[in-house]
Amino acid sequence: MAEHIEMKKTTPQEFVLALLGGLFAPLIAIILIIVYVMGIQGGHSQAQTPADEQAVLERIRPIGVALAIDPKAPRVERTGEQVYNEVCAACHASGALGAPKYKDAAAWGKRIAQGYDTLLTHAIKGFRKMPARGGDPELTDLEVARAMVYMTNAAGAKFEAVLKREPQPSAEVLARGQAVYAQTCARCHDTGLTGAQRLSDVQAWQALIQQGKEYLYKAAIEGTLGGPPRGGDDRLGDAEVKAAVDYMVEEAKQAIAAATPVKQAGAR
């Protein structure tokens, strides 16, 4: 009878299996957990599909362009200062052919008085000895406008580089923009998180406003270096993002207006 209740003796093979099981079971569990967590993160990762990868490439494009000039790279609109230096300075720095010189307020005064639209038309189509687009047909209208504004503002004008006169956004659009801003954009543009231009940053917004609304809309919708597309919220439609930009520009303009007398008083 006693033999029946006696436990079976463990063979050496069973002992080794039990030992391995004891050692490896936790390890396998840990590996499974890691694989699981990586699976979740993979699902959230930005660069999973080719389309997403393309979007990431688009976003980091300016870095590549700055490092190497790739003839196949998509065209990036240059700033007014860049276009001025590369094209317009050839005449407007020296006054060649009788061109009004950069920063020469006297030479520019009467011309500026013609108004933005006339100046822009002359810069794009040419005017007497001033060649169309400064002689560079590759320049886009916006690039010419920016260069023109860069020059005229240095001589006392207060223009914005816009192609079409932008209608003042309605109160309704601004209210919608304010709501979108508060919900999505404020966390970076109120705080300056990751280098976002704070609405109170007068200098940054003066420069941004000069780029024109079309540029700002595009930057906000498609994203920029550090600025996520649609503020990181894919559910936002173009109209909502644009309304938020309208609101931001209005707020920034008020900050600029409020800061201007202070800046003059503070100038030593």
Angle separating helix axes 213-222 and 238-266, nearest 10 degrees: 120
Distance from C-alpha of 255 to C-alpha of 262, rounded to nearest angstrom: 11
CB of 56 to ligand HEC, least distance (A): 15
3-state SS assignment for residue 201: coil
- The Cα-based distances of 236 to 44, 54, 128, 178 in angstroms read 19, 20, 48, 14
Taking CB under 6 A as the binding criterion, the range among 17-25, 68-76, 95-103, 159-167 that sits at the site for ligand HEC is: 95-103
CB 168 within 8 A of CB 221: no
Considering only residues 25 to 84 of the shown chain, the ones binding ligand HEC according to CB under 6 A are: 83
Our finding on whether 161 is near ligand HEC (CB under 6 A) is no
Minimum Å gap between C-beta 47 and ligand HEC is 17
How many angstroms separate the CA atoms of 246 and 179, rounded?
A: 12
Dihedral sign computed on CA atoms, order 15, 20, 23, 26: negative
Exactly one of 59, 78, 116, 144 binds ligand HEC (CB under 6 A); which one?
Answer: 144
Task: Looking at residues 185 to 214 of the shown chain, list those that interact with ligand HEC (rule: CB under 6 A).
Answer: 185, 187-189, 193-197, 208
Does residue 244 belong to the site contacting ligand HEC (CB under 6 A)?
yes
DSSP 8-state assignment for residue 169: P
Decide: is 87 part of the binding site for ligand HEC (CB under 6 A): yes
User: Burial, 197: exposed, middle or buried (Cβ in 10 Å; 0-12, 13-18, 19+)?
Assistant: middle
* Smallest gap from residue 30 Cβ to ligand HEC (A): 34
Kindly state the number of chain residues that form the binding site for ligand HEC, as judged by CB under 6 A. 55
Shortest approach of ligand HEC to residue 74 CB, angstroms? 16
**Residue from the set 46, 114, 203, 254 that interacts with ligand HEC by CB under 6 A:** 114
Scanning 18-26, 49-57, 70-78, 220-228 for contacts with ligand HEC by CB under 6 A, the matching segment is 220-228
Q: Contact 199/252 with Cβ under 8 angstroms?
A: yes
Stretch that binds ligand HEC, among 34-42, 155-163, 241-249, 250-258 (CB under 6 A): 241-249
Q: Which is closer to ligand HEC, CB of 21 or CB of 135?
A: 135
Angle at 238 between CA 236 and CA 239, to 5 degrees: 95
Q: Partners of 24 in the beta sheet?
A: none
Per-residue DSSP letter, 154: H
Residue ranges binding ligand HEC (CB under 6 A): 83, 87-88, 90-92, 96-100, 111, 114, 119, 122-123, 127-131, 133-135, 139, 144, 147-148, 180, 184-185, 187-189, 193-197, 208, 216, 219-220, 224-228, 230-232, 236, 241, 244-245
